[in-house]
Amino acid sequence: MKLLVSIASLSAIALIPISMQMTKANESKQVTQSPNFTGRYLAAISDGDFLASTYNDGKLPIAKTAIDQLSIIPLPFNRDRPSIAQIPISNSVTGAPHALSLSPDGKTAFVVETQGTPPPGATQRSELPDGQQLVAVDLSKPKQPKVLRTLAIAPKPETVHVHPNGELLAISTQTPGRELVLVPFKNGEFGKPQEFSLRQLGIQPDATRFQNGMVASFVQWHPSGRYLAVNLNYRDEVAFFEVQRDRGNLQLVPWGSPVKVGKDPFTGRFTPDGRFYLTSNWGRNFGEQIKTLEQRLPETRGTISVIALANARTPSNQTQHRVVSTATTDIAPEGITLSPDGSLVVTVNMRGTLFPQNSSRFTRESSLSLLTLDRQSGQLSKVGDYPFEGILPESAVFDVKGNYLAVAVYDYFTAKPEGGVEIWRVNRSSTPALQHTMQRIDVGRGAHQVVVAP
């Protein structure tokens, strides 16, 4: 397991200056005014003991300074004395970019680790232990984060999402037979985890699929708190479940049949009004015969699928969700985010930045794809792709007013900074657009998810 941080380790918290640098890509389209990014704070997690190149060569960093951390960036940005608060928190880039979730009031952050900290002397990815840790971090004072509670759950937890009332966590794991876990959280304490297998929820093994298709890559609560969406990316499906209580016990009941979407729906998002669910279809290749990064990662553009959800009043035996729109994004779209009003959609695309520079598929630029969403029909319209220089970006989030976008970038091709959060402006004219600002927040190597507290 990675480093467990105790409440007594407050001395590990550091206040670090924010560096402001201009990226070379899209300089002509950058804006120079100070971004008025709205919200209480930005939170980002970084996997410092795993290199982007580790995916290709399996080698881990040796430096003792290579640690995982949670970074808290107060808002609004202070141009005179910008700073961030950082605390060591174990996390892993090897899962979907949703290992961090905030409580609705922004006073608590929850982090899960898919893989643990390398043991002393470890040099190879194969030496990483399975993670098992769920951590609650007290952010009632964002400039003074501290670990509140830790809990050992099913091995290799991948994503976590907090119920709209803040009292129940939904977690997806890579552990067969324990793919979904619900964990109560109330008055600063974790309750007893309740585990569910995909098989007991009606998902049957498919011998034609990698690992029989029995993997849940992502989980998210419906805005009502009544339903869960579960991405089954090896099956190219999304399943929906209603959460019910029976004499104090939680039950998950299928809500309609799983919906076929695009290839490899790694992550997803409900629209704010709960009418639709969008998936980011990465398009990777799976199978025992896939041995190299070139074989695994797609050469074609990914897609987004929009699922129209059945009316909650429809009888369960008649519930039918359906795909109403599909649009093309860019190559390797891992993360997806929606504006607060649900009208804009952005995917974060790593393109070929993960390949070695001597590979024919290597690119220095990743990109963001911007699309508009008709909130009545669910129809998507592609606006464009916005390239920028950076390695392995995975996650983005709009600010509270939907006027800016924060993007987590794992690493750069420069010595400094090694990883960071970049701020983009959202142009909301008749034709929306994204503009790269001069704001880059150095949080250290390994930034793979960023969220905002309202």
Per DSSP, the residues of 228-280 read EEEEETTTTEEEEEEEEEETTEEEEEE-S--EE-SS-EEEEEE-TTSSEEEEE
On whether residue 3 sits in a domain, the answer given is no
On whether residue 106 sits in a domain, the answer given is yes
CA distance 182 to 45: 22
- Please enumerate in sequence order all residues whose Cβ is within 8 A of that of 194, keeping only pairs 6 or more positions apart, or say none: 181, 182, 183, 249, 250
For the range 63-70, what are the long-range contacts, defined as Cβ-Cβ under 8 Å and sequence gap of 24 or more? 66/445, 67/3, 68/2, 68/3, 68/92, 68/113, 68/117, 68/446, 69/45, 69/443, 69/444, 70/43, 70/44, 70/45, 70/100, 70/109, 70/111, 70/137, 70/145
CA distance 135 to 363: 36
CATH number, residue 334: 2.130.10.10
**SS3 call for 18:** coil
Q: Flag residues of the chain having pLDDT under 50.
A: 1-28
On whether residue 57 sits in a domain, the answer given is yes
> Counting every residue, how long is the chain?
454
- Please report the pLDDT score of residue 126 as a whole number: 95
Which tokens sit at 260?
């076929």
Which tokens sit at 184?
């109560």
On whether residue 118 sits in a domain, the answer given is yes
- Please report the pLDDT score of residue 312 as a whole number: 73
Type of residue numbered 56: N
Identify the DSSP state of 17.
E
Per-residue model confidence as pLDDT tens digits over 395-430 = 999 999 999 999 999 999 998 889 999 999 999 888
Per-residue model confidence as pLDDT tens digits over 310-349 = 987 776 667 899 999 999 999 999 999 999 999 999 999 9
CA distance 286 to 225: 33
Pairing of strands 259-260, 365-373: unpaired
CA distance 187 to 453: 20
Range of the domain at 269: 9-453
- Please report the pLDDT score of residue 311 as a whole number: 86
CA distance 259 to 261: 6
- Please report the pLDDT score of residue 7 as a whole number: 30
On whether residue 46 sits in a domain, the answer given is yes
- Please report the pLDDT score of residue 11 as a whole number: 31
Which tokens sit at 142?
């964002």
CA distance 344 to 303: 15
On whether residue 221 sits in a domain, the answer given is yes
- Please report the pLDDT score of residue 35 as a whole number: 85
The HSE-up count of residue 74 (CA atoms within 13 Å, CB side) is 16
Dihedral sign, CA of 326, 329, 335, 338? negative
CA distance 307 to 21: 39
Which tokens sit at 431?
């034709």
Nearest Cα neighbor of 240 from 205, 208, 202 is: 202
- Please report the pLDDT score of residue 1 as a whole number: 41
- Please report the pLDDT score of residue 37 as a whole number: 95
pTM of the predicted model, to two decimals? Answer: 0.92
On whether residue 299 sits in a domain, the answer given is yes
Determine the Cα angle at 396 with ends 391 and 399, to 5°.
140
Nearest Cα neighbor of 132 from 166, 178, 191, 196 is: 178
On whether residue 2 sits in a domain, the answer given is no
- Please report the pLDDT score of residue 65 as a whole number: 74
Number of domains, the chain: 1
